[in-house]
Amino acid sequence: MDLFEYAGELDYGEIHLKRDAETGLQAIVAIHNLKLGPAIGGCRFIEYGSSDEALQDALRLARGMTYKAAISGLPHGGGKAVIMRPANLTDQGRERLFAVYGQFVDSLGGNYITCEDSGTSVDDMNIVHDQTEHVLGFDPDKGSSGDPSPFTAYGVRRGIEAAVKFRWDREDLEGLTVAVQGVGSVGHHLARELGQLGASLVVTDIDEDAVTRVVDELGARAVGVDEIYGVECDIFAPCALGGAINDQTLPQLTCEIVAGAANNQLLEARHGVALMEREILYAPDYAINAGGLINVAQEFVGYDPDAARAKTSEIYDTMWEIYERAQRESVPTHMVADRIVEEIVFGRILH
């Protein structure tokens, strides 16, 4: 990979590296775009096979954050940090490592604001908070916003309501069946929200306890992990991993709407085209799942959960605009979302 060529393809931006021999810190902060404001994005702390892999992850994720913030009308750019997790890290070692990471974030002068992502916790952000003010998602007792997943789920619910209104001109989900793939943090909250709107729920998860929880609590019907794609339903809600819409799963779908919380639902952009050709309305992932970011961004102006919820509710309008424009221009919804962002951020359509 030629670094500057790849960075150019993704319209970067800044890339910062920090190595600290004493703590074993190897961190990358990718700042994709600062046009709308300081970049917000989580810090991923996982094991990577190589620094190239870590770099690509940071670049791809930070760019996604630019798009998510812009489509949500937030005054923020996109950034992301990855830390290559060292093997055999002790608790003390972890604390020291995150302290140095906090100093690194601080050295960027507020252009990048960090928070949790895979592998990082509120405890880690508390340590970062001792070193810098450019951090969100630390201890709720100190005025921070806590778990973002109920907000993400609420935003997905609003995006689904918009899709249902758009497709069937209906306000509720009474009598509709929603298939939820993955009932972890967001999927569980979403299932609860949709159940309250009258939906029948079909669920799956690789974690049997997670399935039992929604079956017992919400009367959902459980199916096998591979069965979820072909299950009779009106709406398919991917809330597990990326790539749920691909060559193998697409022909199995019976739904008219795909709308869920997972990031990167389309394995490739052409799968968004295929959904449109099958007249399945697709809710672009980074637009519908922005509730967590909207919530954490509220901290930046002084956290108020009611204001965060009201702003998250506006996902309905964002999604409506996307669905309408896609229909008007006969363009797939994921492409419309990209165009809206690119017009806002770059003043022109890039792709």
Residue 104 vs 138, nearer CB to ligand NAD:
138
Please calculate the CA angle 294-80-123 and round it to the nearest 5 degrees.
Answer: 75
Binding residues (CB under 6 A) for ligand NAD: these are 148-149, 152, 181-187, 204-207, 210, 225, 239-241, 261-263, 289, 292
C-alpha to C-alpha distance for 22 and 122, rounded to whole angstroms: 24
Residue 23 vs 249, nearer CB to ligand NAD:
249
In angstroms, give the least distance from the CB of 92 to ligand NAD: 27
- The DSSP line for 91-136 is HHHHHHHHHHHHHHHHHTTTSEEEEE-TT--HHHHHHHHTT-S-B-
- Nearest-CB residue to ligand NAD? 184
C-alpha to C-alpha distance for 196 and 145, rounded to whole angstroms: 25
In angstroms, give the least distance from the CB of 190 to ligand NAD: 9
In angstroms, give the least distance from the CB of 19 to ligand NAD: 28
Residue 33 vs 181, nearer CB to ligand NAD:
181
In angstroms, give the least distance from the CB of 227 to ligand NAD: 11
| Catalytic residue flag (residue 165) | no
Sheet with strand 221-222: strands edge to edge: 221-222, 200-204, 177-181, 235-238, 257-258, 281-282
Q: Are 271 and 250 in contact (CB under 8 A)?
A: yes
Residues in the chain: 351
SS3 state of residue 208: helix
* Active-site entry in 80, 142, 165, 311: 80
CB atoms within 10 A of CB 207: 12
Residue 24 vs 292, nearer CB to ligand NAD:
292
Q: Which residues are catalytic?
A: 80
